[in-house]
Structure 1
Amino acid sequence: MNCEEIKKNIGIRTVLESFNLFPVKENLRTAFYFALDREEKIPSLSVDFIKNKAFDFGTGRSYDVISIVQTINKCSISDALKYLGKLDFSHERTEKNSKEGWQTRSYEVSKIHEITHPALVRYLKERKVYEQSHLVKEIHFRLKLKNYFAVGFLNDSGGMEIRNQYFKICLGDKDVTLVKNGSNEIAIFEGFFDFLTYMNIENKQDNSSDYLVLNSTAMLYKIEKKLSEYSKISLFLDNDPNGRQTVKQMKMKYANAEDCSLIYTGFKDLNEWFCQRT
Protein backbone atom coordinates (compact mmCIF):
# COMPACT_ATOMS: atom_id res chain seq x y z
CA MET A 1 0.00 0.00 0.00
CA ASN A 2 1.14 3.54 -0.68
CA CYS A 3 0.85 6.38 1.84
CA GLU A 4 -2.65 7.42 0.81
CA GLU A 5 -3.94 3.85 0.96
CA ILE A 6 -2.42 3.38 4.42
CA LYS A 7 -4.06 6.59 5.66
CA LYS A 8 -7.44 5.26 4.55
CA ASN A 9 -7.16 1.56 5.36
CA ILE A 10 -5.40 1.40 8.73
CA GLY A 11 -7.73 2.61 11.49
CA ILE A 12 -6.54 5.43 13.70
CA ARG A 13 -7.89 3.62 16.77
CA THR A 14 -5.69 0.64 15.90
CA VAL A 15 -2.60 2.82 15.72
CA LEU A 16 -3.31 4.61 19.00
CA GLU A 17 -4.01 1.33 20.80
CA SER A 18 -0.72 -0.09 19.54
CA PHE A 19 0.90 2.57 21.76
CA ASN A 20 -1.47 1.78 24.65
CA LEU A 21 -3.38 5.01 24.09
CA PHE A 22 -7.12 4.91 24.73
CA PRO A 23 -9.90 7.53 24.79
CA VAL A 24 -10.68 9.54 27.88
CA LYS A 25 -14.08 10.52 26.45
CA GLU A 26 -15.82 8.82 23.54
CA ASN A 27 -19.03 8.83 21.54
CA LEU A 28 -20.06 6.92 18.43
CA ARG A 29 -17.92 8.89 15.99
CA THR A 30 -15.29 10.86 17.87
CA ALA A 31 -13.18 10.65 21.01
CA PHE A 32 -10.77 12.75 23.07
CA TYR A 33 -7.30 11.48 23.94
CA PHE A 34 -4.44 13.03 25.86
CA ALA A 35 -1.89 14.79 23.64
CA LEU A 36 0.76 12.74 21.89
CA ASP A 37 3.70 15.02 22.65
CA ARG A 38 3.16 16.39 26.16
CA GLU A 39 1.67 15.74 29.58
CA GLU A 40 -1.74 17.28 30.26
CA LYS A 41 -4.65 16.93 32.67
CA ILE A 42 -7.42 17.77 30.19
CA PRO A 43 -7.39 15.79 26.91
CA SER A 44 -6.93 18.00 23.86
CA LEU A 45 -6.51 15.50 21.02
CA SER A 46 -9.78 15.06 19.12
CA VAL A 47 -9.98 11.88 17.03
CA ASP A 48 -12.52 11.38 14.25
CA PHE A 49 -12.83 7.64 13.60
CA ILE A 50 -14.83 8.15 10.41
CA LYS A 51 -12.37 10.58 8.80
CA ASN A 52 -9.48 8.60 10.33
CA LYS A 53 -7.80 11.81 11.47
CA ALA A 54 -6.96 13.62 14.68
CA PHE A 55 -6.67 17.29 15.66
CA ASP A 56 -4.76 18.69 18.63
CA PHE A 57 -6.62 21.74 19.98
CA GLY A 58 -3.58 22.68 22.06
CA THR A 59 -1.18 23.08 19.15
CA GLY A 60 -3.52 23.32 16.14
CA ARG A 61 -1.79 20.36 14.53
CA SER A 62 -3.62 17.73 12.47
CA TYR A 63 -2.59 14.07 12.37
CA ASP A 64 -3.13 11.02 10.19
CA VAL A 65 -1.97 7.50 11.09
CA ILE A 66 1.50 8.05 9.61
CA SER A 67 2.21 11.32 11.39
CA ILE A 68 0.97 9.81 14.68
CA VAL A 69 3.64 7.11 14.45
CA GLN A 70 6.26 9.67 13.43
CA THR A 71 5.42 11.85 16.44
CA ILE A 72 5.43 9.07 19.02
CA ASN A 73 8.40 7.11 17.67
CA LYS A 74 10.27 10.23 16.49
CA CYS A 75 10.99 8.49 13.20
CA SER A 76 10.95 9.01 9.43
CA ILE A 77 8.00 8.32 7.14
CA SER A 78 9.76 5.16 5.95
CA ASP A 79 10.11 3.80 9.49
CA ALA A 80 6.53 4.78 10.28
CA LEU A 81 5.31 2.78 7.27
CA LYS A 82 7.28 -0.25 8.47
CA TYR A 83 5.63 0.07 11.89
CA LEU A 84 2.16 0.38 10.39
CA GLY A 85 2.77 -2.65 8.22
CA LYS A 86 2.72 -4.81 11.34
CA LEU A 87 -0.77 -3.70 12.40
CA ASP A 88 -2.87 -5.37 9.72
CA PHE A 89 -5.06 -7.30 12.20
CA SER A 90 -4.61 -5.43 15.46
CA HIS A 91 -7.79 -3.38 15.80
CA GLU A 92 -10.77 -4.30 17.92
CA ARG A 93 -13.69 -2.84 15.97
CA THR A 94 -14.74 -1.11 12.78
CA GLU A 95 -17.03 1.88 12.82
CA LYS A 96 -19.07 2.95 9.82
CA ASN A 97 -22.16 4.89 8.89
CA SER A 98 -24.93 2.45 8.03
CA LYS A 99 -28.65 1.92 8.49
CA GLU A 100 -27.87 -0.08 11.63
CA GLY A 101 -25.85 2.78 13.16
CA TRP A 102 -22.26 3.84 13.51
CA GLN A 103 -20.75 0.91 15.37
CA THR A 104 -20.20 -2.57 13.93
CA ARG A 105 -18.20 -5.31 15.62
CA SER A 106 -15.48 -6.69 13.37
CA TYR A 107 -14.85 -9.82 15.41
CA GLU A 108 -16.86 -12.87 16.44
CA VAL A 109 -16.15 -15.05 19.47
CA SER A 110 -16.79 -18.75 18.87
CA LYS A 111 -15.58 -20.42 22.08
CA ILE A 112 -14.52 -19.49 25.62
CA HIS A 113 -13.34 -22.16 28.05
CA GLU A 114 -10.54 -23.17 30.39
CA ILE A 115 -6.98 -23.17 29.02
CA THR A 116 -6.43 -26.48 27.22
CA HIS A 117 -4.72 -25.74 23.89
CA PRO A 118 -1.09 -26.99 24.00
CA ALA A 119 0.25 -23.74 22.49
CA LEU A 120 -1.46 -21.63 25.17
CA VAL A 121 -0.41 -24.00 27.95
CA ARG A 122 3.17 -23.68 26.69
CA TYR A 123 2.82 -19.88 26.46
CA LEU A 124 1.64 -19.57 30.06
CA LYS A 125 4.40 -21.90 31.24
CA GLU A 126 6.99 -19.80 29.40
CA ARG A 127 5.63 -16.73 31.21
CA LYS A 128 5.80 -18.73 34.49
CA VAL A 129 2.11 -18.22 35.32
CA TYR A 130 0.47 -21.50 34.32
CA GLU A 131 -0.39 -22.18 37.98
CA GLN A 132 -2.78 -19.21 37.76
CA SER A 133 -4.45 -20.34 34.52
CA HIS A 134 -7.79 -20.56 36.34
CA LEU A 135 -7.83 -16.74 36.34
CA VAL A 136 -7.84 -16.50 32.53
CA LYS A 137 -9.72 -18.16 29.68
CA GLU A 138 -8.96 -19.70 26.32
CA ILE A 139 -10.82 -17.70 23.70
CA HIS A 140 -11.35 -18.54 20.02
CA PHE A 141 -12.48 -15.73 17.74
CA ARG A 142 -12.69 -14.61 14.14
CA LEU A 143 -11.16 -11.26 13.18
CA LYS A 144 -10.87 -9.80 9.68
CA LEU A 145 -11.85 -13.14 8.09
CA LYS A 146 -9.18 -15.06 10.04
CA ASN A 147 -9.52 -17.41 13.01
CA TYR A 148 -7.40 -16.92 16.14
CA PHE A 149 -7.08 -18.34 19.64
CA ALA A 150 -5.47 -16.70 22.63
CA VAL A 151 -5.43 -16.20 26.38
CA GLY A 152 -8.30 -13.92 27.44
CA PHE A 153 -8.67 -11.80 30.59
CA LEU A 154 -12.04 -10.21 31.32
CA ASN A 155 -12.34 -6.51 32.17
CA ASP A 156 -15.12 -4.71 34.05
CA SER A 157 -16.95 -3.63 30.89
CA GLY A 158 -17.20 -7.17 29.54
CA GLY A 159 -14.30 -6.65 27.15
CA MET A 160 -11.53 -9.21 26.85
CA GLU A 161 -7.82 -8.50 26.96
CA ILE A 162 -6.27 -10.86 24.40
CA ARG A 163 -2.69 -12.18 24.47
CA ASN A 164 -0.69 -14.85 22.74
CA GLN A 165 2.88 -15.10 21.47
CA TYR A 166 2.16 -12.98 18.41
CA PHE A 167 -0.16 -10.12 19.35
CA LYS A 168 -2.07 -8.30 22.05
CA ILE A 169 -5.41 -6.58 21.50
CA CYS A 170 -8.67 -5.90 23.29
CA LEU A 171 -11.94 -7.36 22.08
CA GLY A 172 -14.83 -5.13 23.12
CA ASP A 173 -14.68 -2.10 25.39
CA LYS A 174 -11.42 -1.22 27.10
CA ASP A 175 -11.61 -1.03 30.90
CA VAL A 176 -9.88 -1.91 34.15
CA THR A 177 -10.35 -5.19 36.02
CA LEU A 178 -11.06 -4.76 39.73
CA VAL A 179 -10.96 -7.85 41.96
CA LYS A 180 -12.71 -6.96 45.21
CA ASN A 181 -12.19 -9.00 48.36
CA GLY A 182 -13.48 -6.47 50.87
CA SER A 183 -9.97 -5.37 51.82
CA ASN A 184 -8.77 -1.88 52.71
CA GLU A 185 -5.53 -2.53 50.80
CA ILE A 186 -5.11 -2.76 47.03
CA ALA A 187 -2.32 -3.87 44.69
CA ILE A 188 -2.30 -2.27 41.24
CA PHE A 189 -0.82 -3.81 38.09
CA GLU A 190 -0.45 -2.43 34.58
CA GLY A 191 -1.19 -5.71 32.76
CA PHE A 192 -2.77 -8.99 33.73
CA PHE A 193 0.45 -11.03 33.33
CA ASP A 194 1.93 -9.01 36.19
CA PHE A 195 -1.18 -9.74 38.25
CA LEU A 196 -0.87 -13.47 37.51
CA THR A 197 2.83 -13.28 38.39
CA TYR A 198 2.13 -11.62 41.71
CA MET A 199 -0.47 -14.23 42.58
CA ASN A 200 2.04 -16.93 41.65
CA ILE A 201 4.89 -15.44 43.69
CA GLU A 202 2.76 -14.96 46.76
CA ASN A 203 0.93 -18.25 46.18
CA LYS A 204 -2.19 -16.27 46.84
CA GLN A 205 -5.12 -18.39 47.84
CA ASP A 206 -6.63 -15.98 50.37
CA ASN A 207 -8.51 -12.69 50.08
CA SER A 208 -6.02 -10.49 51.93
CA SER A 209 -6.09 -7.69 49.36
CA ASP A 210 -8.08 -6.17 46.53
CA TYR A 211 -6.42 -6.21 43.12
CA LEU A 212 -6.64 -3.78 40.22
CA VAL A 213 -5.39 -4.50 36.70
CA LEU A 214 -5.37 -1.28 34.69
CA ASN A 215 -5.02 -3.05 31.30
CA SER A 216 -3.45 0.30 30.32
CA THR A 217 -2.37 3.27 32.43
CA ALA A 218 -4.75 5.34 30.29
CA MET A 219 -7.60 3.66 32.18
CA LEU A 220 -6.48 5.00 35.57
CA TYR A 221 -8.93 7.91 35.43
CA LYS A 222 -11.84 5.44 35.63
CA ILE A 223 -10.84 4.22 39.09
CA GLU A 224 -9.09 7.19 40.75
CA LYS A 225 -11.99 8.16 43.01
CA LYS A 226 -12.36 4.65 44.40
CA LEU A 227 -8.67 4.44 45.27
CA SER A 228 -9.08 7.07 47.99
CA GLU A 229 -11.04 4.45 49.96
CA TYR A 230 -7.95 2.30 50.51
CA SER A 231 -5.50 2.66 53.40
CA LYS A 232 -2.61 1.20 51.38
CA ILE A 233 -1.94 1.25 47.62
CA SER A 234 0.86 -0.94 46.27
CA LEU A 235 1.97 -0.03 42.73
CA PHE A 236 3.45 -2.72 40.48
CA LEU A 237 3.72 -0.72 37.26
CA ASP A 238 6.14 -1.04 34.34
CA ASN A 239 9.70 0.28 34.53
CA ASP A 240 9.29 2.53 31.50
CA PRO A 241 8.69 6.31 31.16
CA ASN A 242 4.92 5.88 31.13
CA GLY A 243 4.91 3.62 34.18
CA ARG A 244 7.28 5.85 36.13
CA GLN A 245 5.23 8.95 35.31
CA THR A 246 2.06 7.20 36.48
CA VAL A 247 3.76 6.18 39.73
CA LYS A 248 4.88 9.77 40.26
CA GLN A 249 1.36 11.08 39.74
CA MET A 250 -0.12 8.43 42.04
CA LYS A 251 2.32 9.18 44.86
CA MET A 252 1.56 12.88 44.61
CA LYS A 253 -2.17 12.22 44.81
CA TYR A 254 -2.20 9.43 47.41
CA ALA A 255 0.09 9.66 50.43
CA ASN A 256 -0.36 5.93 51.08
CA ALA A 257 0.79 4.86 47.59
CA GLU A 258 3.96 2.75 47.55
CA ASP A 259 6.18 2.16 44.50
CA CYS A 260 6.96 -1.56 44.44
CA SER A 261 8.89 -1.48 41.15
CA LEU A 262 12.16 -1.46 43.08
CA ILE A 263 11.67 -5.21 43.41
CA TYR A 264 12.24 -5.63 39.68
CA THR A 265 14.70 -2.82 38.98
CA GLY A 266 16.47 -3.38 35.66
CA PHE A 267 13.54 -5.28 34.17
CA LYS A 268 10.56 -4.04 32.18
CA ASP A 269 7.96 -5.41 34.56
CA LEU A 270 7.27 -7.89 37.33
CA ASN A 271 6.69 -10.80 34.94
CA GLU A 272 9.95 -10.29 33.03
CA TRP A 273 11.86 -10.16 36.31
CA PHE A 274 10.18 -13.33 37.59
CA CYS A 275 10.85 -15.21 34.35
CA GLN A 276 14.56 -14.31 34.48
CA ARG A 277 15.08 -15.27 38.11
CA THR A 278 13.41 -18.68 38.05
Structure 2
Amino acid sequence: MNCEEVKEKVNIRTVLESFSLFPVKENRKTALYFALDREEKIPSFSVDFVKNKAFDFGTGKSYDVISIVQQMNRCSVSDALKYLEKFDFSVQNHIRIEDTVQVKNYQIIKVNEIKHPALIQYLKSRKVCEQKDLVKQIEYMLNGKKYFGIGFFNNSGGVEIRSKYSKICLGKKDVTLIKNDLNTSNEIVVFEGFFDYLTFKNLESAESSISDCLILNSTAMLFRVEESLKEYDRISLFLDNDPNGNATRETIQKKYKNVEDCSLVYKDFIDLNEWFCMNTTENKF
Protein backbone atom coordinates (compact mmCIF):
# COMPACT_ATOMS: atom_id res chain seq x y z
CA MET A 1 0.00 0.00 0.00
CA ASN A 2 1.09 3.58 -0.62
CA CYS A 3 0.88 6.37 1.96
CA GLU A 4 -2.64 7.48 1.07
CA GLU A 5 -3.99 3.93 1.13
CA VAL A 6 -2.37 3.31 4.52
CA LYS A 7 -3.88 6.49 5.95
CA GLU A 8 -7.32 5.42 4.75
CA LYS A 9 -7.34 1.67 5.41
CA VAL A 10 -5.31 1.21 8.59
CA ASN A 11 -7.39 1.91 11.68
CA ILE A 12 -5.89 4.54 13.97
CA ARG A 13 -7.23 2.92 17.16
CA THR A 14 -5.53 -0.37 16.28
CA VAL A 15 -2.22 1.35 15.62
CA LEU A 16 -2.40 3.14 18.98
CA GLU A 17 -3.24 -0.15 20.69
CA SER A 18 -0.14 -1.73 19.15
CA PHE A 19 1.88 0.72 21.27
CA SER A 20 -0.30 -0.03 24.32
CA LEU A 21 -1.99 3.36 24.04
CA PHE A 22 -5.65 3.41 25.03
CA PRO A 23 -8.29 6.10 25.57
CA VAL A 24 -8.66 7.95 28.83
CA LYS A 25 -12.05 9.28 27.75
CA GLU A 26 -14.09 8.14 24.78
CA ASN A 27 -17.39 8.41 22.97
CA ARG A 28 -18.62 6.77 19.77
CA LYS A 29 -16.61 8.94 17.37
CA THR A 30 -13.73 10.53 19.27
CA ALA A 31 -11.43 9.88 22.22
CA LEU A 32 -8.81 11.57 24.36
CA TYR A 33 -5.43 9.93 24.96
CA PHE A 34 -2.36 10.99 26.86
CA ALA A 35 0.24 12.65 24.62
CA LEU A 36 2.62 10.51 22.60
CA ASP A 37 5.78 12.45 23.43
CA ARG A 38 5.47 13.56 27.05
CA GLU A 39 4.06 12.74 30.47
CA GLU A 40 0.84 14.55 31.38
CA LYS A 41 -1.99 14.32 33.88
CA ILE A 42 -4.73 15.71 31.64
CA PRO A 43 -5.09 14.00 28.24
CA SER A 44 -4.52 16.35 25.30
CA PHE A 45 -4.24 13.94 22.36
CA SER A 46 -7.59 13.95 20.55
CA VAL A 47 -8.39 11.12 18.14
CA ASP A 48 -11.16 11.26 15.54
CA PHE A 49 -12.05 7.66 14.65
CA VAL A 50 -14.27 8.74 11.77
CA LYS A 51 -11.56 10.82 10.06
CA ASN A 52 -8.84 8.39 11.18
CA LYS A 53 -6.73 11.32 12.39
CA ALA A 54 -5.50 12.82 15.65
CA PHE A 55 -4.59 16.24 17.01
CA ASP A 56 -2.32 17.13 19.92
CA PHE A 57 -3.75 20.20 21.64
CA GLY A 58 -0.53 20.65 23.59
CA THR A 59 1.68 21.07 20.53
CA GLY A 60 -0.83 21.93 17.80
CA LYS A 61 0.42 19.01 15.70
CA SER A 62 -1.84 16.81 13.58
CA TYR A 63 -1.25 13.08 13.20
CA ASP A 64 -2.23 10.23 10.92
CA VAL A 65 -1.31 6.56 11.35
CA ILE A 66 2.05 7.06 9.61
CA SER A 67 3.16 10.01 11.70
CA ILE A 68 2.06 8.20 14.88
CA VAL A 69 4.40 5.33 14.06
CA GLN A 70 7.16 7.79 13.19
CA GLN A 71 6.71 9.49 16.55
CA MET A 72 6.63 6.27 18.57
CA ASN A 73 9.42 4.43 16.73
CA ARG A 74 11.52 7.49 15.84
CA CYS A 75 11.69 6.25 12.28
CA SER A 76 11.37 7.36 8.64
CA VAL A 77 8.21 7.22 6.55
CA SER A 78 9.45 4.10 4.75
CA ASP A 79 10.11 2.31 8.05
CA ALA A 80 6.69 3.39 9.32
CA LEU A 81 5.09 1.88 6.22
CA LYS A 82 6.91 -1.39 6.88
CA TYR A 83 5.60 -1.37 10.44
CA LEU A 84 2.06 -0.75 9.19
CA GLU A 85 2.11 -3.58 6.64
CA LYS A 86 0.80 -5.97 9.30
CA PHE A 87 -2.26 -3.77 9.76
CA ASP A 88 -3.47 -4.18 6.19
CA PHE A 89 -6.83 -5.78 6.93
CA SER A 90 -7.17 -7.02 3.38
CA VAL A 91 -4.24 -9.35 4.17
CA GLN A 92 -4.37 -9.85 7.92
CA ASN A 93 -7.31 -8.84 10.02
CA HIS A 94 -5.67 -8.79 13.42
CA ILE A 95 -2.45 -7.72 15.08
CA ARG A 96 -0.13 -8.86 17.79
CA ILE A 97 0.65 -6.45 20.56
CA GLU A 98 3.22 -6.74 23.31
CA ASP A 99 2.24 -7.86 26.79
CA THR A 100 2.68 -4.52 28.52
CA VAL A 101 0.56 -2.57 30.97
CA GLN A 102 -1.85 -0.12 29.44
CA VAL A 103 -1.91 2.51 32.12
CA LYS A 104 1.21 3.43 34.08
CA ASN A 105 1.39 4.59 37.69
CA TYR A 106 -1.94 3.15 38.79
CA GLN A 107 -2.99 1.47 42.01
CA ILE A 108 -6.21 -0.41 42.68
CA ILE A 109 -7.47 0.63 46.12
CA LYS A 110 -10.75 -1.27 46.52
CA VAL A 111 -12.79 -3.88 44.67
CA ASN A 112 -16.44 -3.96 45.75
CA GLU A 113 -19.93 -4.76 44.55
CA ILE A 114 -21.50 -1.98 42.49
CA LYS A 115 -22.98 0.47 44.99
CA HIS A 116 -22.10 3.99 43.91
CA PRO A 117 -25.20 5.82 42.58
CA ALA A 118 -23.30 7.21 39.58
CA LEU A 119 -22.19 3.74 38.49
CA ILE A 120 -25.65 2.27 39.02
CA GLN A 121 -27.09 5.10 36.94
CA TYR A 122 -24.53 4.43 34.20
CA LEU A 123 -25.47 0.75 34.12
CA LYS A 124 -29.12 1.77 33.93
CA SER A 125 -28.36 4.11 31.02
CA ARG A 126 -26.82 1.13 29.21
CA LYS A 127 -29.82 -1.00 30.29
CA VAL A 128 -27.69 -3.70 31.93
CA CYS A 129 -28.18 -2.92 35.62
CA GLU A 130 -29.72 -6.38 36.06
CA GLN A 131 -26.26 -7.82 35.42
CA LYS A 132 -24.37 -5.66 37.94
CA ASP A 133 -23.22 -8.76 39.83
CA LEU A 134 -21.05 -9.66 36.82
CA VAL A 135 -18.93 -6.51 37.21
CA LYS A 136 -17.21 -4.77 40.11
CA GLN A 137 -16.85 -1.28 41.54
CA ILE A 138 -13.16 -0.40 41.26
CA GLU A 139 -11.55 2.44 43.18
CA TYR A 140 -8.06 3.27 41.89
CA MET A 141 -5.30 5.86 41.87
CA LEU A 142 -4.03 7.12 38.51
CA ASN A 143 -1.32 9.75 38.18
CA GLY A 144 -1.84 10.79 41.78
CA LYS A 145 -5.61 11.17 41.55
CA LYS A 146 -8.38 8.95 42.87
CA TYR A 147 -11.04 7.58 40.50
CA PHE A 148 -13.72 4.94 40.46
CA GLY A 149 -15.45 3.00 37.72
CA ILE A 150 -17.13 -0.21 36.63
CA GLY A 151 -14.54 -2.97 36.42
CA PHE A 152 -14.45 -6.15 34.36
CA PHE A 153 -11.49 -8.48 34.85
CA ASN A 154 -9.63 -10.19 32.02
CA ASN A 155 -7.71 -13.47 32.00
CA SER A 156 -4.41 -11.79 32.90
CA GLY A 157 -5.77 -9.95 35.92
CA GLY A 158 -6.12 -6.65 34.10
CA VAL A 159 -9.28 -4.64 34.62
CA GLU A 160 -11.37 -2.96 31.94
CA ILE A 161 -12.65 0.25 33.53
CA ARG A 162 -15.76 1.98 32.25
CA SER A 163 -17.78 4.94 33.43
CA LYS A 164 -19.60 7.86 31.88
CA TYR A 165 -16.26 9.66 31.57
CA SER A 166 -13.58 7.05 30.98
CA LYS A 167 -12.70 3.90 29.08
CA ILE A 168 -9.32 2.47 30.08
CA CYS A 169 -7.65 -0.76 31.14
CA LEU A 170 -5.61 -1.09 34.31
CA GLY A 171 -2.89 -3.68 33.94
CA LYS A 172 -2.27 -6.12 31.13
CA LYS A 173 -4.69 -6.15 28.21
CA ASP A 174 -6.21 -9.56 27.54
CA VAL A 175 -9.40 -11.39 26.67
CA THR A 176 -11.95 -12.66 29.18
CA LEU A 177 -12.98 -16.26 28.62
CA ILE A 178 -15.93 -17.42 30.70
CA LYS A 179 -16.31 -21.19 30.68
CA ASN A 180 -19.60 -22.93 31.36
CA ASP A 181 -19.25 -26.43 32.77
CA LEU A 182 -22.65 -27.28 31.28
CA ASN A 183 -21.50 -26.52 27.73
CA THR A 184 -22.21 -29.99 26.40
CA SER A 185 -22.79 -28.64 22.86
CA ASN A 186 -19.26 -27.13 22.69
CA GLU A 187 -20.41 -23.67 21.59
CA ILE A 188 -18.88 -20.25 22.22
CA VAL A 189 -20.30 -16.76 21.89
CA VAL A 190 -17.82 -13.97 21.04
CA PHE A 191 -18.19 -10.30 21.99
CA GLU A 192 -15.99 -7.27 21.42
CA GLY A 193 -16.71 -5.52 24.74
CA PHE A 194 -18.19 -6.51 28.06
CA PHE A 195 -21.28 -4.28 27.74
CA ASP A 196 -22.34 -6.42 24.81
CA TYR A 197 -21.76 -9.48 26.97
CA LEU A 198 -23.92 -7.99 29.75
CA THR A 199 -26.58 -7.18 27.16
CA PHE A 200 -26.48 -10.74 25.89
CA LYS A 201 -27.00 -12.01 29.44
CA ASN A 202 -30.16 -9.89 29.57
CA LEU A 203 -31.40 -11.48 26.37
CA GLU A 204 -30.15 -15.04 26.40
CA SER A 205 -32.49 -17.99 26.41
CA ALA A 206 -32.05 -21.08 28.55
CA GLU A 207 -30.58 -22.83 25.52
CA SER A 208 -27.88 -20.25 24.88
CA SER A 209 -27.00 -19.90 28.58
CA ILE A 210 -24.89 -23.06 28.47
CA SER A 211 -22.42 -21.66 25.93
CA ASP A 212 -18.94 -20.45 26.79
CA CYS A 213 -18.49 -16.69 26.37
CA LEU A 214 -15.43 -14.86 25.05
CA ILE A 215 -15.05 -11.11 25.49
CA LEU A 216 -12.13 -9.84 23.38
CA ASN A 217 -11.92 -6.48 25.20
CA SER A 218 -10.25 -5.32 21.96
CA THR A 219 -10.21 -6.82 18.47
CA ALA A 220 -6.41 -6.67 18.75
CA MET A 221 -6.63 -9.53 21.27
CA LEU A 222 -7.95 -12.08 18.77
CA PHE A 223 -4.51 -13.64 18.38
CA ARG A 224 -4.65 -14.82 22.01
CA VAL A 225 -7.53 -17.19 21.33
CA GLU A 226 -6.94 -18.33 17.76
CA GLU A 227 -6.00 -21.85 18.89
CA SER A 228 -8.71 -22.04 21.56
CA LEU A 229 -11.46 -21.25 19.07
CA LYS A 230 -10.54 -24.36 17.07
CA GLU A 231 -11.90 -26.46 19.93
CA TYR A 232 -15.48 -25.29 19.40
CA ASP A 233 -18.06 -26.86 17.10
CA ARG A 234 -19.99 -23.59 16.81
CA ILE A 235 -18.93 -19.94 17.08
CA SER A 236 -21.51 -17.15 17.38
CA LEU A 237 -20.24 -13.62 16.74
CA PHE A 238 -21.65 -10.44 18.30
CA LEU A 239 -19.00 -8.03 17.01
CA ASP A 240 -19.30 -4.32 16.28
CA ASN A 241 -20.55 -3.01 12.95
CA ASP A 242 -17.46 -0.92 12.28
CA PRO A 243 -14.18 -1.48 10.35
CA ASN A 244 -12.47 -3.30 13.23
CA GLY A 245 -15.47 -5.47 13.94
CA ASN A 246 -16.02 -6.24 10.26
CA ALA A 247 -12.37 -7.18 9.75
CA THR A 248 -12.31 -9.42 12.81
CA ARG A 249 -15.57 -11.06 11.75
CA GLU A 250 -14.12 -11.78 8.30
CA THR A 251 -10.97 -13.29 9.82
CA ILE A 252 -12.94 -15.65 12.04
CA GLN A 253 -15.32 -16.66 9.26
CA LYS A 254 -12.40 -17.54 6.97
CA LYS A 255 -10.44 -19.44 9.59
CA TYR A 256 -13.11 -21.49 11.37
CA LYS A 257 -16.11 -23.62 10.48
CA ASN A 258 -19.68 -23.25 11.72
CA VAL A 259 -19.45 -19.52 12.39
CA GLU A 260 -22.69 -17.57 12.78
CA ASP A 261 -22.70 -13.80 12.30
CA CYS A 262 -25.28 -12.50 14.77
CA SER A 263 -24.65 -8.84 13.95
CA LEU A 264 -27.57 -8.98 11.51
CA VAL A 265 -29.80 -8.62 14.57
CA TYR A 266 -28.41 -5.09 15.12
CA LYS A 267 -27.30 -4.30 11.56
CA ASP A 268 -28.37 -0.64 11.77
CA PHE A 269 -26.47 -0.05 15.03
CA ILE A 270 -22.83 -0.04 16.12
CA ASP A 271 -23.18 -2.91 18.56
CA LEU A 272 -25.59 -5.12 20.46
CA ASN A 273 -25.84 -2.79 23.44
CA GLU A 274 -26.68 0.26 21.33
CA TRP A 275 -29.40 -1.75 19.57
CA PHE A 276 -30.76 -2.95 22.91
CA CYS A 277 -30.79 0.55 24.37
CA MET A 278 -32.80 1.80 21.41
CA ASN A 279 -35.33 -1.04 21.54
CA THR A 280 -37.67 -2.08 24.30
CA THR A 281 -38.57 -5.54 22.99
CA GLU A 282 -37.71 -8.52 25.13
CA ASN A 283 -36.86 -11.01 22.41
CA LYS A 284 -34.56 -13.85 23.45
CA PHE A 285 -31.70 -15.28 21.43
Coarse TM-score class (shorter-chain normalised):
0.5 to 0.7
Residues 123, 134 of structure 1: alpha-carbon distance in 2 compared, 3 angstrom cutoff: same
SS at match of 2:197: helix
Change over 3 Å in CA distance of 1:18–1:254 after alignment to 2: farther
Indicate the residue corresponding to 1:190 in structure 2. Answer: 192
What is aligned with 2:228?
226
2:265 to 263, 266, 272: 263
CA contact (8 A) 1:185 1:209 kept: yes
Aligned residue number for residue 159 of structure 2: 160
- Aligned with residue 93 of structure 1, among 103, 106, 110: 103
How far, CA to CA, are the matches of 1:58 and 1:176 in structure 2? 33
User: Which amino acid letter does the alignment assign opposite residue 80 of structure 2?
Assistant: R
Aligned to 2:119: 120
The answer as to 2:227 corresponding to 1:214 is: no
**Aligned residue type for 1:272:** E
**Pair 1:132 & 2:162 matched:** no
Q: CA deviation at 1:110?
A: 1.1
2:80 counterpart of 1:61: yes
Per-residue Cα deviation, 1:36-83 (whole angstroms, up to 9, x for no partner):
57xxxxxxx989xxxx72267993138xxxxx9xxxxxxxxxxxxxxx
Which protein, 1 or 2, shows the higher relative CO under an 8 Å CA cutoff with sep ≥ 6? Answer: 2
**Aligned pair 1:8/2:38, yes or no?**
yes
1:260 CA drift (Å): 0.6
Task: Output the amino acid matched with 1:269.
Answer: D
Identity of aligned residues (%): 50
Within 5 A, what are the aligned runs for 1:231-242?
231-242=233-244
Shift of 1:173: 0.5
Give the aligned residue type for 1:54: N
Q: What is the DSSP-based 3-state SS (H/G/I as helix, E as strand, rest coil) of the residue aligned with 2:199?
A: helix
Structure 1 residue ranges (4+ consecutive) displaced by more than 4 angstroms after TM superposition: 55-58, 203-207
Residue equivalent to 2:98: none
User: Cα 1:217–1:133, aligned 2, differ >3 Å: closer, same or farther?
Assistant: same
Structure-2 change in CA distance of 1:225 and 1:174 (3 Å) = same
Distance 1:53 1:210 in 2: 38
TM-score w.r.t. length of structure 2: 0.65
Amino acid at match of 2:37: K
CA distance change for structure 1 residues 160 and 18 in 2, over 3 Å: closer, same or farther?
A: farther
TM-score (norm 1): 0.67
What is the distance in 2 between the residues matched to 1:237 and 1:209?
Answer: 17
Distance 1:46 1:157, change over 3 A: farther
> In structure 1, what is the Cα distance between the partners aligned to 2:208 and 2:257?
27
Letter in 2 for 1:145: G
Change (3 A) 1:243 1:57: farther
Q: Distance in 1 between matches of 2:268 and 2:148?
A: 32
SS of equivalent to 2:275: helix
Distance 1:133 1:54, change over 3 A: same
SS of the aligned residue for 1:7 comes to: coil
Residue in 1 that maps onto 2:20: none
Contact persistence 1:46–1:57 (CA under 8 A): no
Asked whether the equivalents of residues 107 and 141 of structure 1 are also in contact (C-alpha less than 8 Å), the reply is yes
Three-state SS of the structure 2 residue aligned to 1:53 is helix
1-structure distance, mates of 2:235, 2:216: 14
Q: Give the distance between the partners of 1:132 and 1:138, measured in 2 at CA.
A: 13
Q: Paired residue for 1:86?
A: none
SS at match of 1:59: helix
| Stretches of structure 2 lacking an aligned partner (at least 5 in a row) | 1-34, 50-64, 85-100, 281-285
| Length, aligned pairs only | 208
Tell me, yes or no, if the aligned pair for 1:55 and 1:61 is still in contact at 8 Å.
no
Structure that is richer in strand per residue? 1
Check conservation: 2:180, 2:210, Cα contact below 8 A.
yes
Counterpart CA distance in 2 for 1:110 and 1:209 is 34
SS at match of 1:123: helix
Q: Which of 227, 246, 249 is equivalent to 1:247?
A: 249
Q: Classify 1:6/1:187 alpha carbon distance in 2 versus 1 (closer, same or farther; 3 Å).
A: closer
Q: Give unpaired runs (5+ residues) of structure 1.
A: 20-35, 38-44, 63-67, 69-90, 95-105
How far is 1:181 from its partner?
1.0
RMSD across aligned positions (CA): 3.2
The residue number in structure 2 matching 1:108 is 107
